[in-house]
């Protein structure tokens, strides 16, 4: 009789012990991207004329070879990079930055993506952040003197905008050294 009285108590204790396991959340799956078809497609500048001059530091996409000398980017990264380029050239800098950030989430070790995000941030007047992004690009572009030189030129521009002429001159010198390699 005594064991029969303990069974409900044991079941109650066991249910409280298992309750946290039942309430844990399953691994979160990312929802599919939502395409807003109500927004018009970004307007690109015609090749024969442009209403807005593109700043000299917003440059066309550069291909960076990997360790074997091949250039390979996931198709999604290339599409986002093209989209960001069109958005930046159309003056949609925040959209361009968002596209580049999405591309970086896909390919975070791509120095070119970090460089382009730095150019967009510099265009937005965020020179300190642009400098940090170019430094990040440099850390990923080891062995690629051309990309590092582009980064140092961008760092020089960012430092000029931060009223740091000495730092800008040092960055320009570093870019020239890399150009000679």
Burial category of 28 from C-beta neighbours within 10 Å (exposed 0-12, middle 13-18, buried 19 and up):
exposed
Q: How confident is the model at residue 8 (pLDDT cuts 50, 70, 90)?
A: low
pLDDT of residue 5: 64
- Is the pLDDT confidence value at 68 over 80? no
- Is the pLDDT confidence value at 140 over 50? yes
pLDDT of residue 181: 82
CB-CB contact of 128 with 159 (8 Å)? no
d(CA 99, CA 92): 11
CB-CB contact of 116 with 102 (8 Å)? no
Residue 125: HSE in the Cβ half-sphere, 13 Å Cα cutoff: 0
- Is the pLDDT confidence value at 21 over 80? no
- Is the pLDDT confidence value at 29 over 90? no
HEC string of the chain? Answer: CHHHHHHHHHHHHHHHHHHHHHHCCCCCCCCCCCCCCCCCCCCCCCCCCCCCCCCCCCCCCCCCCCCCCCCCCCHHHHHHHHHHHHHHHCCCHHHHHHHHHHHHHHCCCCHHHHHHHHHHHHHCCCHHHHHHHHHHHHHHCCCCHHHHHHHHHHHHHHHHHCCCHHHHHHHHHHHHHHHCC
- Is the pLDDT confidence value at 134 over 90? yes
pLDDT of residue 73: 78
- Is the pLDDT confidence value at 138 over 90? yes
- Is the pLDDT confidence value at 44 over 90? no
pLDDT of residue 168: 97
User: What mean pLDDT value characterizes the chain?
Assistant: 77
- Is the pLDDT confidence value at 150 over 80? yes
pLDDT of residue 1: 54
pLDDT of residue 99: 97
Estimate the crossing angle of helix 111-123 against helix 145-161, to 10 degrees.
20
CB-CB contact of 84 with 100 (8 Å)? yes
pLDDT 10s digits, 53-62: 444 444 444 5
pLDDT of residue 127: 97
């Amino acid at each position: 009789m005594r064991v029969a009285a303990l069974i409900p108590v044991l079941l109650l204790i066991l249910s409280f012990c298992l309750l946290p396991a039942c309430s844990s959340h399953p691994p979160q799956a990312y929802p599919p991207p939502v395409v807003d078809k109500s927004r018009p497609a970004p307007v690109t500048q015609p090749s024969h004329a442009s209403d807005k001059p593109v700043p000299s530091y917003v440059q066309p996409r550069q291909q960076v070879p990997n360790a074997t000398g091949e250039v390979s980017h996931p198709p999604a990264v290339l599409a986002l990079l093209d989209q960001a380029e069109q958005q930046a050239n159309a003056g949609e800098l925040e959209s361009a930055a968002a596209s580049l950030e999405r591309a970086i989430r896909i390919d975070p070790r791509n120095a070119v993506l970090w460089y382009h995000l730095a150019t967009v941030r510099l265009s937005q007047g965020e020179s300190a952040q642009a400098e940090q992004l170019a430094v990040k690009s440099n850390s990923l572009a080891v062995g690629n003197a051309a990309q590092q030189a582009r980064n140092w030129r961008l760092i020089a521009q960012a430092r000029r905008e931060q009223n740091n002429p000495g730092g800008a001159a040092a960055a320009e010198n570093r870019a020239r050294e890399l150009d000679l390699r």
